[in-house]
Structure 1
């Protein structure tokens, strides 16, 4: 069976840039364009709207110059307007060779925005198409508000299409401009156009206002659409456009009679770059490209993956240049931890694994996710703690820090079953803690506290602001130095834990 080819047109640089607050620089546009064509291998790019700004002009010039050198100029498209030839002059200045002409696809838009009759609008469109052809510019035609046109003024839509199929154009672009279509309507309307005009090339341009963008694209392809307009990360006005990653996955896995030539493995790389350039953050649960979508959190899922991949589906992370992860937190089981240990090349015996698991669960109650980068620190903390007999316990403490007042600490310490309490101030919260501790020892103990000679804090590489924090303190007692470590998501608490270990050592 010969599969039907579906063209993928990316409009991140045009429609996607209409996302509120997003504006790409000239160099960013060129970089994204190169990645989309060379790495993701989309069929076409819509890169700009004509006559918008000087920056837009320079960006299009850069992209068309690169595209011409690399035999891609016919893949570069620009949104133009029925404006008496001004857009055509702009295109000639940039070197672009394909225009996507914006016209009225509903009688409502035509009457109230242009205030023209269909006959007048068609005449203006014909003049623009002819002028483009005279200047060796190919034309695709957008029917703006086509979805509302099919709902409310279908006679006008087909009168317009009857005219368009007689013109010198390449493609007809049918947008759900306001994102109002249901999947059923999308199929019926595209099918109706396809049935009446079996030879024309139809593109569908879906918006996501009701979160139906991907479903509508799927139905458009089933009904006979030849091309799709998509954006990286679903960028676009309001709720955005149909998202590239989700649509490509859906087409590959559910529409077996069609063919696309995009490279799935490049999706994540392109997605992250566009996120960086745009500042438009990818939701962590966004299918295919979100940070969490290939992360198993529940221990039962990791266990199932070990037993015949029970929790896998066709969306394997390797397809998209990614890797499955197993989160560590309060819902983790031994299977999750073992998966992470395997990645790190670390092996623990059953008793050690049980203690590490319990420690991760405790930390998970305070910190939502414990990362793989945290794991060696946790193991070191747990195994180090096992070597120290716990005769001194920091039972309770209150750390106070208020504007205009010195930090203070109230400390309760249990030493071999006896409770002691002290209060002190200091230059910082940990300094106040140490001053309270010194009070207790001066009053109740003949022992001297070691001198604190070095204090270092570090977080695991790759971690963020909520990372686990390891505090490493070097103590000196008489002529001997020794080191203790504390681990917690709070820096002061991790230092207190390191101090508690010191108290037990002495």
Structure 2
């Protein structure tokens, strides 16, 4: 059960719009194929209600309504009515899983709380809404008040409910405790279907999920990219890989779609995926060390079961000071560029020099580096900015005037925009529309300023583009807009200057 749209939305600063909730729900259920999703908390806001209603309408048409759940509270009929009005059919009822929570937060006895819960269950049955139970703070309950936990489950298993969900609400458990506590639940209540809900406060969420499954739990909760309150929840991608590779179990999840949903949620949430995040981080399928690239060329000596193709990704070889000739050769092979040993050594040395100067190097930089080092005309600068002017006046939309030279001919356009760079790009698009040329889609835009940098520090802007493929370009300048413009002009030259076979033949023959 994935709870990105409920527990994941409790990440500080994250709020999904109606459209975003629907998009994530659709991809999770139809592309990734998780079994259930939890999409909202009842009574939160009008926006939450509208988003839930929109997802429920779609789900009803697609036959997914029983797979969609909403967190509700022990409040008589209030949460139930909210869910019913939104079109929902399942409530995940938040009950107390520890004696402290009952007596100190609710200031009730266990019997009083149980009676309140029973009333909600009865109301839900009358309204045709299925009930699952969350035992909030269950992990603390198992540590300090087991008798209370057993009392609640013994009583609740006699009620008309679906599943009892065991949350490590504050992320306090270690793997041994998780195994022991989950096993105790399964052995004491063999007829109950349990879920385990991990939090990652000690960075043990995945380990705890692993041990919950080993103990016999057969449903675990996840969030995309590990979103969630405080340190987050167990990441969907890591859970799926762990289940398959380490526990040798099967799920219904289509793991080739995990990268797709991760990128979608990254975009909607605004929470960037760490570059070294297992399975979904930008660099986790990137070999940096030259010895690794060499080993991969010799019977895949540095491969493990986590093949990138499983997750809709590809293996890459980084360009940097530890790359070595093997990494660089692999990147050149992808471009169809063949160099003799001496030329390859020169290019390798140049890349190492650039990396020592703390310059990041993308694959798209490689033809330019080859041209520079070998003094060839492999890359022809077909596009050049003649001049541009960008104006910003408080209270008015920014305006850009751009003069561009393409294949020796000059074109000029202007445009306003939501920002200065947006105005510049819109002017470029107008030029390309006039010429009937396609213009790539901007996928991502990252600005990096050195930590502790001053106002005159160099800004590095890396922009990701998408046309028939995805690629990156970068620009370096003390001015952020200028850096972005340099990256954009680099992009235009890349798409204008497709590497022709005769060019490749020329560079090979010149340097053989």
1:262 aligns with 2:253: yes
Note the alpha carbon deviations across 1:15-57, whole angstroms, 9 max, x for none.
0000001101110111010000011100000000001000000
What is aligned with 2:474?
Answer: 464
CA distance in 2, matches of 1:111, 1:199: 29
CA distance in 1, matches of 2:149, 2:177: 15
What is aligned with 2:334?
Answer: 343
Matched residues, number: 391
Which secondary structure does the structure 2 equivalent of 1:78 belong to? Answer: strand
What is aligned with 2:244?
Answer: 252
Which secondary structure does the structure 2 equivalent of 1:109 belong to? Answer: helix
The answer for unaligned runs of 5 or more in structure 2 is 379-461, 465-470, 478-482, 487-512
CA distance in 1, matches of 2:475, 2:348: 23
CA distance in 1, matches of 2:377, 2:239: 52
CA distance in 1, matches of 2:186, 2:360: 50
- Could you tell me whether the CA contact under 8 Å between 2:371 and 2:377 is conserved in 1? no
- Could you tell me whether the CA contact under 8 Å between 1:329 and 1:364 is conserved in 2? yes
- Could you tell me whether the CA contact under 8 Å between 2:76 and 2:123 is conserved in 1? no
- Could you tell me whether the CA contact under 8 Å between 1:80 and 1:100 is conserved in 2? yes
Of 274, 279, 285, the residue aligned with 1:294 is: 285
The answer for unaligned runs of 5 or more in structure 1 is 1-8, 388-457, 473-506
1:285 aligns with 2:283: no
Aligned pairs for 1:69-80 within 5 A: 69-80=61-72
Which secondary structure does the structure 1 equivalent of 2:351 belong to? Answer: helix
**Larger RCO, structures 1/2 (Cα 8 Å, 6+ apart):** 1
What is aligned with 1:133?
Answer: 125
Give the 4+ runs in structure 1 shifted more than 4 A.
Answer: 458-461
- Could you tell me whether the CA contact under 8 Å between 2:2 and 2:223 is conserved in 1? yes
Which secondary structure does the structure 1 equivalent of 2:81 belong to? Answer: helix
Aligned pairs for 1:71-470 within 5 A: 71-256=63-248, 258-384=249-375, 462-465=472-475
Which secondary structure does the structure 2 equivalent of 1:259 belong to? Answer: coil
CA distance in 1, matches of 2:53, 2:147: 40
Shift of 1:466: 5.1
Which secondary structure does the structure 1 equivalent of 2:38 belong to? Answer: strand
Q: CA RMSD in A?
A: 1.9
What is aligned with 1:442?
Answer: none
- Could you tell me whether the CA contact under 8 Å between 1:33 and 1:45 is conserved in 2? yes
CA distance in 1, matches of 2:281, 2:52: 30
CA distance in 2, matches of 1:268, 1:459: 19
What is aligned with 1:50?
Answer: 42
CA distance in 1, matches of 2:236, 2:211: 16
TM-score (norm: length of structure 2): 0.74
CA distance in 2, matches of 1:156, 1:466: 62
Which secondary structure does the structure 1 equivalent of 2:197 belong to? Answer: strand
TM-score (norm: length of structure 1): 0.75
Between structure 1 and structure 2, the one with the greater Rg is: 1
Which secondary structure does the structure 1 equivalent of 2:240 belong to? Answer: helix
Shift of 1:331: 1.1
C-alpha distance 248-386 of structure 1, shift in aligned 2 (>3 A):
closer
Note the alpha carbon deviations across 1:426-446, whole angstroms, 9 max, x for none.
xxxxxxxxxxxxxxxxxxxxx
Note the alpha carbon deviations across 1:324-345, whole angstroms, 9 max, x for none.
0000111111110111011111
C-alpha distance 217-368 of structure 1, shift in aligned 2 (>3 A):
farther
Which secondary structure does the structure 2 equivalent of 1:101 belong to? Answer: strand
C-alpha distance 156-343 of structure 1, shift in aligned 2 (>3 A):
same
